[in-house]
Structure 1
Amino acid sequence: MITSASGWRKVFAESGEKDDDNVEIGDLNRTIAALAAETFADYMLAQKKSPLIIVGMDTRPTGPAIAETMLRVFLAKKIAVSYTGIIASPEIMVYAHSADGFVYISASHNPIGYNGIKFGLNDGGVLNGQENAKLVAEFEKKCARPDAAEYAQKLASSCSDIDLDWVFAESIATKHSAANTYRSFEKEVISGSKEPAVQNAVFARIRQNLIQKPLCVVADMNGSARTMSIDKTFLNECGISLTAINSAPGQIAHEIIPEPENLVWCAHEIEKRQAAGDKNCILGYMPDCDGDRGNIVYWDEIEQKAKVLRAQEGFALSVLSELAYSAYQAQFSQGCGLAKKAELFLSGKNGQTGSFFGGQKVGVAVNGPTSMRIEEIAHAFKAEVFRSEVGEANVVNLAREKRSEGWTVRILGEGSNGGNITHPAAVRDPLCTIFALVKLLILKDDQANGALRKGLFHLWCEASGQMEKYKENYTLRDIIETLPVYTTTGVSEERAVLQIKTADHGILKAKFQKIFENQWNLHKNELKELYGFESYVAVRTNGTVETKNIDDYSQSGKGGLKIIFYDENEKPVAFMWMRGSGTEPVFRVMCDVKGNKPKEEQKLLEWETKMILRADSLA
């Protein structure tokens, strides 16, 4: 079992086959589930005498067996539990605000035979790396007991069947309560305000604009936990039509990971609807099994086909949108009371002047392999970018640290994996991604009381010095064409995954350093001629800390290592990155090159790969 902060995962199917869709998990996996449950139970009891834990799962076949085992252990330990059944991970994490902690049974994007467990408290996210390490240490001690299997079986069987039956009986009401809580939270996240008056003003404008220009969205649910969430009702009440395919829970029709090769079904449905005359059908998304990632498909009106938006581009658009939206809000909201804010929003009157964000220090938190296009977008709005190690928990905790230092960090995420996190959410959410794009498309320039209120795309074109590309009737393609252009390795590509024998990645990176520095000295003139590389900086990311100009690559350990290359003007023009996966037994690599330069990106990645494999052979 891989026990990272992002989730504990293994093949739970009894056969041990990753593509097995049977429901049985076998006695060994029941033991593992029981000991994991007791570990978290002890952790929670150490913090509070009578904690309440929310338990939910995605739609994987092995989920019910794991859930029942864990519920039995919690009840045997005299812990109060509420069971939601199938629920999307953003939904349970929001609902956990009303409890003391949560357990979510899922393996996210892994194949169907996998399953896993995410642990969290009531702050809306999973446990950070430090707290997760405490759980892992205790879990391993329990697994090492000579009588571990007998102990686990006895513990689970000591649960009262009457109590367990009542937990299952209450699950429908629990799920209903979770959905209502989630809906209210989504309104806060999308509008950027806790106040109902401001929320209603924002959504009223969104709905009115959608009445004038209707929008239909296609969702390939692929049998995921989002089939049981609020997507259809919420989008409908906001004025957006939703067409869902593979919409029955557990109707997993194709591979789970929402990368380009699996977004073709969503693209085909958009093309089918366009051919049938539905010209308003221009957006689509596909979540993974736990429903936290929603990668995007859009209709290209020039090429007359549905196109897949790569993960890095989708994240870049979300960052662009939310920074522009913050600037849009700042046009009328600074220094006003709640009633006045709502009045100014609806009237379009300007409530402040000055910087994009009314004097706030605004930042964006991302992981190490997120494309450098994010820096260009952020810097256009005079915002800063902060980077952490890969892992949603690392990015979320980095954003929290920066907020404690006085920064406003509304948008964060892992561009390399797709999806985005919009504060106060602490997990990716496809509805937030969809609404980032919706706001970009429909919050346009308007006139109110003789004053111009600039729309989101207008604000972006102005900030980035691209007003020549702005037009009144723009489309998503027009917006995409204003993004900074980079060529980036896709996370799901075969060439982005290496099999490494060296278990100690610190040793591997020390060997890599010697090889790289020797290669640089031998070929720097050639590298300058081919790529324009004048110099480089080595950077490591461990947890929430990014350290630049390192002279010992081994210090990155199992964290991220990146080499950033600079041109003669000391501008970053490319990077190569590496890190062992925390959720899969593989070593990930990627490159990011400024410009539309697929050949350069390919050669750079091949060079990085050769050096890593050479280092592995010497380690």
Structure 2
Amino acid sequence: MIFSANDPNLSDSLLDKALGELILSASGWRGVFAADGNEESAAGDISPAHGLIAAVAAAVFADYLKKTFPAPRVIVGMDTRPTGPAIADVIIRALLVLGCGVNYVSVTAAPEIMAFARRGKSDGFVYISASHNPIGHNGLKFGLTDGGVLPGAEALPIIEEFRRRMTLGDRIPQAMGLINRANTKALEEVYAETGRVKQEAYQAYLDFIREVSAGAASAQGEGIPGLISRNIRDRPLGVAIDFNGSARTLSIDKEFLASLGLKVHAMNDKPGQIAHRIIPEGESLEPCRLFLEEVHAKDPSVILGVVPDCDGDRGNLVFWDDAQNKARALEAQEVFALACVSELAHLVWTGELTYDNKGNALQKAAVAINDPTSMRIDRIAMAFDVSVFRAEVGEANVVGLARKLREQGYVVRILGEGSAGGNITHPSAVRDPINTMLSLIKLLTIRSEGERKGFFELWCDLSDQAETYHPDFSLADIIAALPAFISTGTSTPEAMLQVKTTDQGLLKSRYQRVFLRDWEEKKESLLSRYGITAWEAAVYNGMEEKRGISDFSAAGRGGLKISFINKAGHKAACIWMRGSATEPVFRVMADVGGSDKRIERALIEWQRKMVSEADNYLGA
């Protein structure tokens, strides 16, 4: 992609407009890159302004790497969005001009490029994706060789330097030079090696997932993968995958799952064959649900279905529900809860987590999650005598928190953003649908044998539900054994608001006034209806949680949660809020213990009303 100074579509005003619409956060840089400006565009062209943005972003990251590596080698990859190749070409050119080596992997799932970066043959990566945003969006993620994106403390200085360079008077000619001066021969060599690089990335990811799946049990007899395979031979299991044209179409899914003995059925499995909304929630799960019903009718052993997002670091599930005799979708919070039960049971099964004769854990173990993850996880962790720690929304925050906890001596096998579904299984540092599937597969296949209890029986015993266990259990039985909670789904209309107030600290300060007034008015009815006697506020900024705060504005742009406490002194429900750092929306949620949907409805309606009033607040 070559730019000319005489291009009528390139000017300071057009560049400023593109910059103004760009969202920059540690979780990723995102915007509508499609040249026609349509967020649902299937066109592959990007505007010159977005080309310059990509070039400067590459330059800032290259200079960041050069502080440690004189001639850094950078992996460049992308998901299957139409604008990916154009952005990749700009980034590769800029990196070459700046003296970096480039390994171009082309289409690759986010967990794949991160596993490849772990191998030590590079110094960092640039991944081109807008995750679950609409198809006309695109963006960038940056990382090193630790298997995840840059943590917030490292990402924010890069963002600030990018912003600084974009204020300079010579920003356009400087960026054009990064694109137009690339050596043609060097560029051709990068593209010529793409096939080989892709194979290396694929193999690195396959090897890494085998390591994750084995865990500490790899030295114990046949190990967990072998046990899964043996049990699937006795009790066949199959999976239906709606790839939705994502980057996972060219990844390890079919080979790895088949190696465990699963039957794999796929739809929309050609790269770029994006057949429906990218976000794997709500209506986007319906094609897979119908596909699972169709396949299950022919082969009853096929009982799981998965839908990944475009970059393949997230996937939510559908399953065949024996109790209802139909396939149904799982809520994102349910998926994460099941993964937590499985991975904590994994620690018990392998002997990494043991107990004294009073049921107290002898090792320090923890789960690291984001602030809107359901309190259901606290109940699950309590059964295992495991601690729960929360960080602000953002995968980098949760991964950073887990690393901090390990430095403090905690075993942290599972972490993640339960509000969005999926999980991160150590040593992974990114969500991965393969690991989510593995968690459920282990629950279903690692069953009790002789004196050794399987994963589900361990859960039943530790959660005081031993009487509910029976050897011929199904996934529906496991779901029924989860603590009962109802949470607002992140993709539902009730979970999103548009707010005018740009200062979120001010918004939360106004919200505090509204909440305190409403609390005084409602506390008697909250007590009589729901048994709520008190509340506690907590704020979440980066990896830090502060509870019992008296100034709601301390949340700033981070998360604010109000927990409601019942007569027994336990947290029974909560409401939460935070402006998205990757989408132009303000998110709210309610989370309620029990199965009464009416309580969740009442709390989310109250939350929306209070936020809207705070946004339109006219007081002093």
Quote the residue 2:333 is aligned against: 312
Per-residue CA distance 1:456-477 (angstroms, 9 max, x = gap): 0010000000011100000000
Quote the residue 2:245 is aligned against: 223
Bigger Cα displacement from structure 2, 29-38 vs 524-533: 524-533
Kept in 2, the 8 Å contact 1:327–1:357? The answer is no
Query: In 1, distance between residues paired with 2:265 and 2:358?
Result: 41
Quote the residue 1:395 is aligned against: 398
Query: In 1, distance between residues paired with 2:221 and 2:358?
Result: 24
Per-residue CA distance 1:226-245 (angstroms, 9 max, x = gap): 00000001111111111110
Query: In 2, distance between residues paired with 1:390 and 1:376?
Result: 21
Kept in 1, the 8 Å contact 2:356–2:362? The answer is no
Kept in 2, the 8 Å contact 1:61–1:250? The answer is yes
Query: In 2, distance between residues paired with 1:151 and 1:491?
Result: 41
Kept in 2, the 8 Å contact 1:577–1:591? The answer is yes
Query: In 2, distance between residues paired with 1:521 and 1:147?
Result: 58
Kept in 1, the 8 Å contact 2:218–2:224? The answer is no
Counterpart secondary structure, 1:589 = strand
Query: In 2, distance between residues paired with 1:235 and 1:523?
Result: 52
Kept in 1, the 8 Å contact 2:340–2:414? The answer is yes
Quote the residue 1:477 is aligned against: 476
Query: How far 1:52 sits from its partner (Å)?
Result: 1.3
State the AA in 1 paired with 2:540. Answer: T
State the AA in 1 paired with 2:162. Answer: F
Let me know the Cα RMSD of the aligned residues. Answer: 1.5
Quote the residue 1:76 is aligned against: 97
Query: In 1, distance between residues paired with 2:330 and 2:205?
Result: 27
1:37 aligns with 2:40: no
Per-residue CA distance 1:535-578 (angstroms, 9 max, x = gap): 00000011011100000000100000000000111011100000
Counterpart secondary structure, 1:279 = coil
Quote the residue 2:162 is aligned against: 139
Quote the residue 1:576 is aligned against: 575
Point out 4+ residue stretches in structure 1 off by more than 4 angstroms.
195-200, 351-358
1:360 aligns with 2:363: yes
Quote the residue 1:289 is aligned against: 310
1:404 aligns with 2:407: yes
Quote the residue 1:545 is aligned against: 544
Query: In 1, distance between residues paired with 2:523 and 2:218?
Result: 59
State the AA in 2 paired with 1:314. Answer: V
State the AA in 1 paired with 2:277. Answer: E
Query: In 2, distance between residues paired with 1:199 and 1:318?
Result: 24
Counterpart secondary structure, 2:56 = helix
State the AA in 1 paired with 2:457. Answer: H
1:167 aligns with 2:170: no
Quote the residue 2:114 is aligned against: 93
Query: How far 1:184 sits from its partner (Å)?
Result: 1.2
Quote the residue 1:56 is aligned against: 77
Counterpart secondary structure, 1:537 = strand
Quote the residue 2:150 is aligned against: 127
State the AA in 1 paired with 2:579. Answer: G
- Within the candidate set 209, 212, 227, 2:234 is matched to 212
Query: How far 1:147 sits from its partner (Å)?
Result: 2.6
Bigger Cα displacement from structure 2, 515-524 vs 572-581: 515-524
Query: In 1, distance between residues paired with 2:361 and 2:152?
Result: 35
Give runs of aligned pairs for residues 208-287 of structure 1, distance below 5 A.
208-276=230-298, 278-287=299-308
Query: In 2, distance between residues paired with 1:279 and 1:164?
Result: 51
- Within the candidate set 399, 413, 416, 2:416 is matched to 413
Query: How far 1:187 sits from its partner (Å)?
Result: 1.3
Query: In 2, distance between residues paired with 1:404 and 1:7?
Result: 26
- Within the candidate set 44, 50, 54, 1:23 is matched to 44
Query: In 1, distance between residues paired with 2:221 and 2:420?
Result: 30
Give unpaired runs (5+ residues) of structure 1: 335-350
Identity, in percent, stands at 48
Quote the residue 1:508 is aligned against: 507
Query: In 1, distance between residues paired with 2:552 and 2:68?
Result: 38
Kept in 1, the 8 Å contact 2:360–2:385? The answer is no
State the AA in 2 paired with 1:286. Answer: V
1:607 aligns with 2:606: yes
Counterpart secondary structure, 1:409 = coil
Counterpart secondary structure, 1:446 = coil
Kept in 2, the 8 Å contact 1:188–1:199? The answer is no
Query: In 2, distance between residues paired with 1:75 and 1:210?
Result: 49
Query: How far 1:153 sits from its partner (Å)?
Result: 1.2
Cα separation, partners in 2 of 1:220 and 1:579, compared to 1, 3 Å:
same
Query: In 1, distance between residues paired with 2:41 and 2:86?
Result: 15
Counterpart secondary structure, 1:570 = coil
Query: How far 1:46 sits from its partner (Å)?
Result: 1.4
Query: How far 1:191 sits from its partner (Å)?
Result: 1.7
Counterpart secondary structure, 1:618 = coil
Query: How far 1:365 sits from its partner (Å)?
Result: 0.4
Cα separation, partners in 2 of 1:41 and 1:354, compared to 1, 3 Å:
farther
Give the number of aligned pairs. Answer: 595
Query: In 2, distance between residues paired with 1:562 and 1:125?
Result: 27
- Normalised to the residue count of structure 2, the TM-score between the two structures is 0.94
Give unpaired runs (5+ residues) of structure 2: 1-21
Bigger Cα displacement from structure 2, 504-513 vs 184-193: 184-193
Counterpart secondary structure, 2:513 = helix
Query: How far 1:359 sits from its partner (Å)?
Result: 2.6
Counterpart secondary structure, 2:616 = helix
Query: In 2, distance between residues paired with 1:217 and 1:354?
Result: 40
Kept in 2, the 8 Å contact 1:285–1:294? The answer is yes
